[in-house]
Chains A and B, each alone.
Chain A
């Protein structure tokens, strides 16, 4: 069952100007949405805010009500050992399998560090990581 390891990330189109992140964060706070991790990717005048949250559907509808363009993007989240070599382990598995990482960001949780990955072939990435004994988050782990 690979699908259960595919996680919905929210991606928000945002102009590159002061106050936009505050507007997004405020809206999520008011609706009690908890943010596990987020990153910002920029391109000249605009960017995409990516976030992993506990209630993606709520987050999406709140932000859309405010006028933001929001999409779900499929990512995978891998638990890493929070010690030297943790990232290397995961990256090597994907590299050896010829899977390209489009982007990644990470957060350090209570039990482990988590690496969020957008990869070219999600299904294959999941099976390779699991076969190598790695552990992935399910969507239910976040809610």
Chain B
């Protein structure tokens, strides 16, 4: 039997949904008018909140790009007074500064409710024990799921990341029934338990997200861990995880249309595409208070699945098929090559030539960066080279929140590019 957290809103369809969406869209646009960036854009587009009559008016609104958010750092996109903000999270920006996301108390409540919907949808209840093996702190994944799981009344084990053996020990000792982590980490856990010759008997459900994964991967995880594995989708600009989630049918992710108004567009022309057509997902928030988002270009490639889902809920998107830009997802963390370039430019001992290699080692992403030594900065001492290598790794870790391995290479040894540089070689196969 299908379980619901908020049956009325989860199954809202047709005219009633459209009315709600139109009303919320108008509200969102009027909130956005408090933000100088949007005020300017809306004026240019010659449209204001009062002009919004139905969701058809959406196409008259301007797009918002990730690079636009950089202009607003830190609080430029907040639509409410500072006193109303109760939380901030940050996510990777395209260069030096991160993107700051703010939340009002109502935002936190709405977000927690969305996560609670997702967890309930896959059959979790207050009787379950939920291990949250993702990063806490500034990342939205940890605290987002933590609050959502707590809302359902489950027991939460905030294990965060790292220390795989201890994670496994806790699953066994605490009788954990549901695990949330990246799919790559889940497979890593699988390998470790197989090596140890143990099984995770209490575990029955896995919620995996923050990086793209495939049906093959689902099959691997489900058979080797004896669980049901579900795909989770979201991004910090839209609260965090919780935007869309698979139901027990495991055929597409239900996107919560009472809170998000999705479109699929051709990333090159910006034209709206129809059902079944692959394109870039664009989302307009309908309930975000602190930081409304109008036609936000997510950069994720997917399509709408239009047929009815037996579970009774509404619109679904297909699992993410790729990106429309050069953003990389490494162990669930978004990395823009421009961020790496920005860091290296600030270190005089190395040249501006670099190459990024991404591999999968024991199911975990590893990023290796080859950096050309600057000839004049070579002191002749091995210790200085090792120190420089460490320094670059540390600076990259600070900027990307990610451990990388840096290799110093001889001057002039990396490929030079005439036109568009192709500095990333992604050697990960299909997940």
Contact = CB atoms under 8 A, between A and B. Distances in A.
Direct contact of A and B (CB under 8 A): yes
Nearest to B409: A15
Which bracket fits the contact residues of B? 10 to 19
B362 interface: no
A47 B411 CA distance: 14
Which bracket fits the contact residues of A? 20 to 34
Interface in A29-77: 41, 43-48, 64, 67-73
Contacts of B380: 9, 11, 48, 71-73
A57 to B, nearest CB: 15
B1 interface: no
A71 B411 CA distance: 14
B386 A43 contact: yes
Contact of B412 (A43, A44, A67, A71): A67
A13 B382 CA distance: 9
B378 interface: yes
Contact of A73 (B375, B381, B386): B381
Contact of A69 (B382, B386, B407, B410): B410
B67 interface: no
Interface of A: 9, 11, 13-15, 41, 43-48, 64, 67-73
B408 A45 contact: yes
Interface string B365-381: 00000000101001111
Nearest to B368: A45
Contacts of A69: 373, 375, 378, 410-411
A110 B379 CA distance: 32
9 contacts: A14-B410, A15-B410, A15-B413, A43-B386, A45-B408, A46-B409, A48-B381, A48-B385, A70-B378
Contacts of B373: 13, 69
Contacts of B381: 11, 48, 73
Nearest to A23: B410
A46 B408 contact: yes
Contact of B410 (A9, A11, A13, A73): A13
A137 B381 CA distance: 22
Nearest to B410: A15
Nearest to B377: A69
Nearest to B386: A43
Contacts of B412: 67
Contact of A67 (B378, B408, B411): B411
B378 A13 contact: yes
B30 to A, nearest CB: 56
